[in-house]
A and B are shown apart, each in its own frame.
Chain A
Amino acid sequence: EVQLVESGGGLVQPGGSLRLSCAASGFTFSSYDMHWVRQATGKGLEWVSAIGTAGDTYYPGSVKGRFTISRENAKNSLYLQMNSLRAGDTAVYYCAREKGSGDFDYWGQGTLVTVSS
């Protein structure tokens, strides 16, 4: 059974940093592109970052230069390093597996990040 379990969320002050983790199991992690998607309370989904099987990374303009996605295939783990956090980054952060055609077939349960003083 495919499972994605996020951790590392919490309360952080504006300008601070946080590192999210996503533990994957039930599939060959190294063979899949992986993503982070976030959702502010009561709002829609927003794509945050992606990493390919070769380690290539992609970001939207809203987080580029502040967030860094990485993966450790030996540990079946995905990470998101978030720096210079802003109030607008407050959201539930989901990790998601890309099925291979630009869509996300498995999602974690999400971890809440709150940026507030």
Chain B
Amino acid sequence: QSALTQPASVSGSPGQSITISCTGTSSDVGSYNLVSWYQQHPGKAPKLMIYEVSKRPSGVSNRFSGSKSGNTASLTISGLQAEDEADYYCCSYAGSSTFENWVFGGGTKLTVL
């Protein structure tokens, strides 16, 4: 069982917006603004899409945005495109005084209808 909880799947039509949630605890998501999101296409390595809750790396479309409230972080993708279909994973830093210093969510499969 993953440390962070994500929905197994979400779907949307081209042009629509979707939001993927990532629920942790007060020891990880709730304690640190160090939540990141990764996109992974089949057979490929993960790609960083969002870091520090809401920041976008250079080259990532502004259709991707992140936020956090309490112990839950969210990734929103607006103006869905076919190439957004992929698995998405959240990750949170959980401190240095625990064995689980970094924790991932179980992943969410995004289907573009």
Interface residues of B (CB under 8 A from A): 2, 32, 34, 36, 38, 45-48, 51-52, 57, 89, 91-93, 96, 99-107
Decide: B101 and A44 in contact? CB cutoff 8 A.
no
Closest to B106 in A: A44
Bound-state CA distance A109–B47 (Å) is 11
Specify which of A45, A46, A64 lies most central, judged by the most chain B CB atoms within 10 Å of its CB. A45
Decide: B46 and A35 in contact? CB cutoff 8 A.
no
Bound-state CA distance A59–B101 (Å) is 8
Interface residues of A (CB under 8 A from B): 35, 37, 44-47, 50, 58-61, 64, 94, 99, 101-105, 107-110
Decide: A104 and B2 in contact? CB cutoff 8 A.
no
Which of the residues B2, B51, B99, B102 comes within 8 Å of A99, measured between beta carbons?
B51
Decide: A102 and B36 in contact? CB cutoff 8 A.
yes
Bound-state CA distance A109–B100 (Å) is 24
A58-B96, A58-B101 in contact; A102/B46 too (CB < 8 A)?
no
Kindly provide the distance from the CB of B110 to the nearest chain A CB, expressed in whole angstroms: 14
Apart from A94-B45, A102-B34, A104-B38, list 9 A-B contacts with CB within 8 A: A44-B106, A45-B107, A60-B101, A61-B99, A99-B48, A102-B36, A102-B91, A102-B92, A104-B48
Decide: B100 and A60 in contact? CB cutoff 8 A.
yes
Decide: A35 and B102 in contact? CB cutoff 8 A.
yes
Kindly provide the distance from the CB of B46 to the nearest chain A CB, expressed in whole angstroms: 6
Kindly provide the distance from the CB of A87 to the nearest chain B CB, expressed in whole angstroms: 18
Bound-state CA distance A104–B38 (Å) is 9
Bound-state CA distance A85–B107 (Å) is 25
Decide: B45 and A101 in contact? CB cutoff 8 A.
no
Decide: B107 and A103 in contact? CB cutoff 8 A.
no
A44-B2, A44-B106 in contact; A107/B46 too (CB < 8 A)?
yes
Which of the residues B34, B48, B102, B107 comes within 8 Å of A47, measured between beta carbons?
B102
Closest to B37 in A: A103
Decide: A109 and B45 in contact? CB cutoff 8 A.
yes
Which of the residues B38, B51, B89, B106 comes within 8 Å of A101, measured between beta carbons?
B51
Closest to A46 in B: B104
